[in-house]
Structure 1
Amino acid sequence: MSLFSFFSRRAGLQSLSALDDRMLNDLGLSRSDLADAGRMGAGATSLLAERRNQRASSWMR
């Protein structure tokens, strides 16, 4: 099970919301990513994975 599969449920988003901004940044996420994912419903995990991958790609440049 991947990290984002684990957090696919609403409880997972709530758990992520409990993290501070620095910890979210370590995961490659932001508060706005979580808000967007909360509105997405079923596509939340894909959105979070995409945002994380975008940040990781830009960081590696």
Structure 2
Amino acid sequence: MFPYTNPYDKHIYISLSFNLIIMKTIMKKEYGYLIASIGFYIGAIFTFFSCQDNKI
């Protein structure tokens, strides 16, 4: 199902789901889209660098 077979990559999926939960809770408030988009991009950058560290 997932392209990665390394068990260390599970924290990437956990962090992505955690980002989605934060987005859903923040979007209910005012200025939610701005804060959620910034937080989502920061989470995506962290997950990208964690993927790069696993490949090395």
Higher relative contact order (CA 8 A, sep 6+): 2
TM-score, normalised by the number of residues in structure 1: 0.41
Higher radius of gyration, 1 or 2: 2
TM-score, normalised by the number of residues in structure 2: 0.44
